[in-house]
Structure 1
């Protein structure tokens, strides 16, 4: 970090296992999908409990989807105490001149009769209605018609923009075995006095043997929707169109038009495609072919025109069509449970050769619900697969690559296990023009694919059109893209006009394509987390096949380089880039059928799934400077042009699939594998030494009760009037450089290293204790004394805290000597004495409960996601101390191995000692210089270099805790409730972060304070602060609730009192820091002095964070928000300074 620099965006990406605590939604009995104006999806479904649900895709939500039972309230109101079910529903989205409207219908069955409810004209923009649509009941009231039992056979809603057309099919005679249908249209306004009006059919239709869809022909004053109908009666096919009513007289039936297919073929499925004038083109699937009837060619006796025949059009179960801009898309689900689509430019719809070749996109599908995303122009469908999942499939308009994601809901409870998945995980660290991390910065992100990602644990739908997201309090973004295949998504991140393009695939793809010889392929192994390995390529693979893939890898690398151009940004950019693309089949593959890359890759995936043998190869088209992928099976050959990196990467996995290497194995080979044994040793050193250090502080409480006043008196005598203190010029350029200049918070940060920290910051607020919790129980008398001391010293302390708060806002950007002068001006004898009085009272409280306070750290706890990651490596039960230490140990270990190739704590005697030592005295002795006393008598001593390692590690760990505190403490302080879920994790982070820095300085001091009295005050303040930090958290903080009168602050609850006590302890700590820097200014420049200066500077910024926290939790409104921002920035700076200190050798 520097005092004045440019905006920087630093990123790290890796293919790695990641985790999400969410429930994968099970497919419902029936579902449909529409989109709201933003392009997000809305699923309507009947659940397995036979209730009607709306499931909304929800950006910036945890799971990405929110589900609501929208029939329950109406059922409870209209059928109290009765067992009723939702039998059927319909939904349509219509886009008129204004905003889109979403219309809903549901049918409720009470076991005897069915009941119709409509909710019409719902906004497609303001979706506040989603949780509780306004339903209106429409009892059967058709004039002159009586029914003994109303049995609804089906319901439809039109997507016309000029009116609401609702059609209900009713079983004419439920007692008849023929079950013929009577059809009604609904006048929701009841303009003629009734809502139900008969639509008199000119043909007979059986309830289970017909297909229908709403629409209308063009021209001729046809301003009313009607029904296209096809079915059989007594085995004979029938196919007609009939308006719902006569456009000039509703009491008269509309004139029907009879249609017929060539050769008398029977219609299998129908779909209408609404045009801008509300007329409809009709698409018909029959006998393995797709037919079209243009809206202006639907007169009586008209015959649909065959567009093309295709094997995938056999046995069509459902058909859908939609016009998007200048393209028509038709989707189908065939008898082989395959989803396919075909698309054509709107100008060429009559030309069968202009339609794309349909191939299977997804197999094993039972239901689909498609649409074209209007915001991103992406082909989208939802599929209920035989695997029992609901999958969202999206084809990106630029890359043409398909992505597939499960639809997920929030977990039922905090203990629900997280699911693991392969992902491209990217960490972006953002710094502003001042060099400081851009806390909570608004950042623009666009993507080459339209896909689902999680950004800082919140769901987002990204694509070429930029979306705005917010960095965390540490100025970081963690972007997780789940993947089931090798291809991922390039990202473009923009902040303050500075742009960076991130290609998370580059590293893994490079590793894969580096296997360019048969020997390299045969020798490649997949390494598991436990260290075991398996061959990437099955043993016995022929040399010819190995050579084919090895050569293909070399070609893939060339293709990747040739198409690696900057991504298009914005909705129109993709179309512009593809507008002039002209391709042809390779000269030596004239029989190949040219299809687009995304579809071909899905077809190959289907071939692999069906275990069909194929050969894939790359061909370079020099004339067009393009690469083509050619795939040949026994009976088909397809080819495509590879013109972007996403397509090239996707092609690579199917090259390897020829060797019978599963996609999962390819991903496992390329994924970053955490060496958890190395991380575990680092964590065990961390936990053991921190535990010993904190236990030492407990042991010191009784000594401090008797010695603290004397130590403060000695320190006051030493600094009386700050004689001779005020000139820090001896610090050199450090004195005139800003406080945050040396901070390096991003050093060593990486996507895999931040795995646990990312999930801890997102989930610690939902942590749950497992088993009994030890709650400290301080007696009331010392608490009363503490509150009385705070009130008695309130004026002095309030003035000091207020003045320090004024310094805090600009402290990180101040020159060090300017900040020190401000501190010296505030912290005088009176403030020091008042702080001593409060510290005495705190010690009296801690005397009774210090041991119990530490016990809270050992309580087993479950942190969502984090505990699941640990359970995956065999850690079934962990305390909050364990979890925090794991969280810090991972990035330290990952960074150390990346830099040196070795773990920070190897499996050796030094590490075994540090893990196994059981008392602080023995530990401290091991860090003391060797003496002439024989080793057996003197105790253990660490090998050369171990002391420096421990010093560096614990300062780095302290820095990581401070960076995490910037996020967690901000969330805690922002919560209006004092007793919130973030309270204990925030306190533990503060205690461990402070304790690790203190431990490093005690075990391996670098130019420590020389003045004995000042040193004693510093040690005492550290001890009291660490224990008090833990005490004032969780349930026990309620015991400290009371009113404390401090100038400018409103202190009324236990959290506020604890924060004030912590701020008061800053005063003696500031004295020690200012004095120490004064001593250091007289010493010659050296690395140890540099370490000490960095350490004391980080102490200053940590004091700023503590003062700001006290202000934040004891104020409201804008001042609270400002104080939280200052606190977060100071914590980040502190962490960066501790990390910088750890790097000095």
Structure 2
């Protein structure tokens, strides 16, 4: 087996809908690190939205609270407050939920839920916690709930507190607090507050102090503007009947928020963190007694003139046991979201903490966790004006990525659109492979350089470096891999045929880098035009006018060249440069020393200015002092802030307008990116490929070449005007062919009889066909597919990908064709005819499989002809001819309404919506299959011929408007060039047609869904497009007439198989259908054999065309294995289906090669 692969930066879509914003949310994770997003929706329902691998959208939203209605007399239940906790040892999840029913609040808990529940759709088991804490306030009004599961050496300790309004309706809204006893009675126990707190002001954290022996609750809040904070154990461990003694904790001026987390020890003790304008303060476990003062562990940086920790409105802390790291995330009053971290155990050391900078702005709420398997941050944020997004930081490169939470769609028109790196990976059989190794039955194992969420063949997976994920290609041997992106940064994949086999490295950025490498001077940039306009059919210069001057172009070109040089020294798989390699002595690094060690760019109103060497060093020296073997080590006046590249990139993204210059300096074997923002020097190491592309984005952004422009240049955009013209030409040709098809059936019997005249002479002629001296095996011809420009590109399979995956969700008014009544006797006769010859036929087919099909990759087309004719000539002349002629009468009657079916509208996810947007029209069944064919036909033809196949003009317009097959034939006969373009595009179409037909045919066989049947039959038109193109050819010869007859019979039978009443008739499906399919396909090879025998001095393209016809015919001949009378075992039948699918895919590839050779006149 071998792989072929191509990746593109392009717009893609998903049939899904984005999760709407919720009122409140928290997150946990499963043992495998997948997300569990708990929330109260705007509909007052408590949900869990779980990340689900091997699913279509990747997320599932489950209602957890509505079932409680049955416990309250069927009344409406409104979720009000919730909290969650997780056992760090078992990962079990505990939930506490306050609900409101008729104006009164109630409490329910659910404990010990396994995190990796396969299916949460049945919800969780709730236990009611009715009030039994004495005189209840009226109405009972719960203001908050708190839950904590503390891991200790003796086991987990579950703590739950509930706050209620002391006097509902009173203006101060003072609260009373209770703790819950899950095991005893009463369950509600008053937890006396030493000071009064207002419900709207209290901020609470749970934890444990040394010596308390029980968990405690930290409370910060105010009454009448007086702020106070206390720590109080849940109970008095020594005197349970006596109220516990609180500790009053001193707070810094301006305190707004607190958070706690484990100190990392097995004791279960917690650090308490306090956010105030002065910075981040901490109460260590041994500093939480009465009147304790906090320690300032991180002074607050100033951003936009405001201390970063001032006005913090939310703070969350976590300890990552895998990396022994303590992490805090904060949101301040300006909506800035930032984090700080330090090694666990060094929280009291100021120098141990990272420097916080705002990463995201306009954040309204957030929640996060640290992935249990790979120790990276998974953050959920509600950003102003946007949906909730999942943000993850690559644990390898530190680059941040963003994605929406895509839920299963509620209607066919729901579409999520996003930029992506889309990869087409095709698994192909080689001549040396064992005949029993089948593409469709082969596992491929995927890993990635870093953890990444992707879709493979429409299913959601999270890849990682360490665990190979097995999956199989679709029936056509293809994988479509989609990685959402909002930048040029991409995670690389690896594909293997065994879990530990040699990997194929898949770099989604490969084509983008190839384009960048073509920039060697400013003149190269001056020539670049990018698509623009409504349908991307116009162009504009890449550089805006105010930056399109020689100095800016030269500066950009030099910067691109330098950054690509830096990239060449970094790991090619996208991983981070080994820090040890940067510590070698300069002599040991001489081979990696760049030509220019220091260079920079200055940004001004006229564009860019590039500097390097001494000039750059002087400019940089004004900012920093020299030390080490490079320039940038420490600032002369103020220390530089060193950030991870990913953090630096997010921080600077919104500050580029204030960036006046930037420098790159080669220091100690690594490149450092240095810039000044707001009087502060920042630096980050370019230690991976994604950091290099991030620097490229910065530079282009500064000259107003934005991400969308980079996609238009480095990626791909569909030129819909060109594609729609091809689609409309194809549609009219298919339409006129379909109208003529029933008439063709009337003369088909005569055409067949005509071909079988002098049959013995033909057999003798074919047996003596010479192989040319330079003959090639069929596998060699097929391998030329990889050299056809664009053939492996994912944009070519965009339409087919969405048809394969959207067919089952499609909506159409299709109905059955024709009426099968009155065919009983004919069907019985055909059944008897086929079954009476079953032994002869199956013996012939099995011999064809053994002597031809199993060796087909190593045989030349002529060798295949000789073997096939030697095995099946008698069968063709006898039962095959008779069965096919008899089937014609059934096909003629049923096919009368075929055009109504092709004109029926269809709503298919994604494609219908985009087609309406592009054309303003609704999509018909024929529109759909022609669009799917037109996309690769247009793209590949343009790549081969360097022009669009059907440009605007009278010739194209005439083809679109021709009203009969006769007028089309006349028009094409008068213009050989246009005829060639029709033949070439129709042969290219067979490439995608074969893939779509094979997949839909298998789906239809398994499900028998009417709309899929209609799509499968309609896609067969594209599958046999090369034969249909031949129907427009002149002159009219016996071979062409026979080919036209067999094409009409094959197309008609495809519709009868899928959308006629016969598809549910056992006489047809178990005998006549598969038997006649074998006969039709064997006879259909005859025109191709006759053509090669009659050609004087055939070209290479003629042999490829013969090979394509033979592959298709041989694939169809295996249908005989479906006959019930043969009682073929399941495994044998499956092998036959997979082999047939492989031959059909080979036919598509060979048709493509034939089309490309025609363009090249070979």
- TM-score, L = length of structure 1: 0.86
More deviation in 891-900 or 807-816?
807-816
Q: Trace 1:43-192 onto structure 2 (pairs within 5 A).
A: 43-75=37-69, 77-96=70-89, 99-129=90-120, 131-142=122-133, 144-161=134-151, 162-188=156-182, 190=183, 192=184
More deviation in 946-955 or 451-460?
946-955
| Corresponding residue for residue 508 of structure 1 | 512
Instruction: Judge conservation of contact 1:65–1:407 (CA < 8 Å) in 2.
Output: yes
Equivalents in 2 of 1:352, 1:588: separation in Å? 19
Equivalents in 1 of 2:580, 2:467: separation in Å? 17
Equivalents in 1 of 2:284, 2:629: separation in Å? 30
More deviation in 853-862 or 837-846?
837-846
Q: Deviations over 1:394-436 (max 9, x none)?
A: 11111111111122212211133x3433222221222355578
| Corresponding residue for residue 630 of structure 1 | 674
Equivalents in 1 of 2:280, 2:191: separation in Å? 29
- TM-score, L = length of structure 2: 0.85
Equivalents in 1 of 2:769, 2:282: separation in Å? 86
Q: 1:1029 aligns with which of 1054, 1058, 1068?
A: 1054
Q: 2:1026 matched to 1:997?
A: yes
Equivalents in 2 of 1:599, 1:912: separation in Å? 55
Change (3 A) 1:1004 1:45: same
Secondary structure of the residue that 1:321 maps to in structure 2? strand
Change (3 A) 1:1073 1:668: closer
Q: Trace 1:611-1010 onto structure 2 (pairs within 5 A).
A: 612-621=657-666, 623-704=667-748, 707=750, 714=756, 718=759, 730-731=770-771, 742=782, 747=788, 748-769=791-812, 773=814, 775-778=816-819, 780-782=821-823, 784-796=824-836, 798-799=838-839, 802-803=842-843, 806=846, 812-815=853-856, 827=872, 834-835=879-880, 838-840=883-885, 842-907=887-952, 910-925=955-970, 941-943=974-976, 945-973=977-1005, 975=1006, 977-994=1007-1024, 996-1003=1025-1032
Equivalents in 1 of 2:776, 2:35: separation in Å? 56
| Corresponding residue for residue 1147 of structure 2 | 1134
More deviation in 1076-1085 or 307-316?
1076-1085
Equivalents in 1 of 2:525, 2:884: separation in Å? 67
| Corresponding residue for residue 306 of structure 1 | 296
| Corresponding residue for residue 1102 of structure 1 | 1115
Over the aligned positions, Cα root-mean-square deviation in angstroms equals 3.7
Deviation at 1:72, TM superposition (A): 1.6
More deviation in 984-993 or 741-750?
741-750
Equivalents in 1 of 2:58, 2:110: separation in Å? 25
Equivalents in 1 of 2:778, 2:1075: separation in Å? 23
Secondary structure of the residue that 2:835 maps to in structure 1? helix
Q: Trace 1:7-22 onto structure 2 (pairs within 5 A).
A: 7-22=1-16
Q: 2:257 aligns with which of 243, 268, 275?
A: 268
Change (3 A) 1:1109 1:62: farther
Equivalents in 2 of 1:1112, 1:314: separation in Å? 81
Change (3 A) 1:246 1:803: farther
Equivalents in 2 of 1:956, 1:536: separation in Å? 31
Q: Deviations over 1:263-284 (max 9, x none)?
A: x654523232363522222222
Q: Deviations over 1:355-391 (max 9, x none)?
A: 1111111111111011111223211210111113101
Secondary structure of the residue that 1:753 maps to in structure 2? helix
Q: Deviations over 1:996-1040 (max 9, x none)?
A: 23224444599x9x9x6x886654333222112113323x33x55
Equivalents in 2 of 1:959, 1:942: separation in Å? 25
5+ unaligned residues in a row in structure 1: which ranges?
Answer: 1-6, 929-940, 1045-1053
Equivalents in 2 of 1:446, 1:576: separation in Å? 25
Q: Deviations over 1:919-951 (max 9, x none)?
A: 3234334565xxxxxxxxxxxx114x5444443
More deviation in 628-637 or 818-827?
818-827
Secondary structure of the residue that 1:291 maps to in structure 2? strand
| Corresponding residue for residue 491 of structure 2 | 489
Deviation at 1:649, TM superposition (A): 0.7
Q: 1:232 aligns with which of 215, 222, 239?
A: 222
Equivalents in 2 of 1:824, 1:551: separation in Å? 64
Secondary structure of the residue that 2:140 maps to in structure 1? coil
Q: Deviations over 1:291-310 (max 9, x none)?
A: 12233443343322111122
More deviation in 459-468 or 1022-1031?
459-468
Q: Deviations over 1:753-797 (max 9, x none)?
A: 22212212221232222xx65653325113x23432343335225
More deviation in 331-340 or 816-825?
816-825
| Corresponding residue for residue 284 of structure 1 | 274
Secondary structure of the residue that 1:647 maps to in structure 2? helix
Equivalents in 2 of 1:583, 1:126: separation in Å? 55
Secondary structure of the residue that 1:100 maps to in structure 2? coil
Instruction: Judge conservation of contact 2:264–2:345 (CA < 8 Å) in 1.
Output: no
Q: 1:1070 aligns with which of 1082, 1085, 1091?
A: 1082
Equivalents in 1 of 2:76, 2:452: separation in Å? 41
Q: Deviations over 1:824-865 (max 9, x none)?
A: 687576786555565455433333342312321122222211
Secondary structure of the residue that 2:675 maps to in structure 1? strand
Instruction: Judge conservation of contact 2:315–2:329 (CA < 8 Å) in 1.
Output: yes
Change (3 A) 1:1040 1:956: closer
Equivalents in 2 of 1:251, 1:1137: separation in Å? 87
Instruction: Judge conservation of contact 2:814–2:1014 (CA < 8 Å) in 1.
Output: no
Q: How many residues align?
A: 1082
Equivalents in 2 of 1:117, 1:644: separation in Å? 50
Change (3 A) 1:970 1:575: farther
Instruction: Judge conservation of contact 2:814–2:1011 (CA < 8 Å) in 1.
Output: no
Secondary structure of the residue that 1:348 maps to in structure 2? coil
Secondary structure of the residue that 1:134 maps to in structure 2? coil
Secondary structure of the residue that 1:439 maps to in structure 2? helix
Q: 2:560 matched to 1:553?
A: yes
Secondary structure of the residue that 1:813 maps to in structure 2? helix
Secondary structure of the residue that 1:873 maps to in structure 2? helix
Change (3 A) 1:73 1:866: same
| Corresponding residue for residue 540 of structure 1 | 546
Change (3 A) 1:39 1:807: farther
Q: 2:632 matched to 1:586?
A: yes
| Corresponding residue for residue 391 of structure 1 | 389
Instruction: Judge conservation of contact 1:786–1:838 (CA < 8 Å) in 2.
Output: no
Q: Deviations over 1:87-124 (max 9, x none)?
A: 1111122221xx31111121111133211111211112
Change (3 A) 1:821 1:100: farther
Deviation at 1:1107, TM superposition (A): 4.3
Equivalents in 1 of 2:1138, 2:167: separation in Å? 71
Equivalents in 1 of 2:922, 2:717: separation in Å? 23
More deviation in 868-877 or 343-352?
868-877
Equivalents in 1 of 2:581, 2:408: separation in Å? 39
Change (3 A) 1:808 1:574: farther
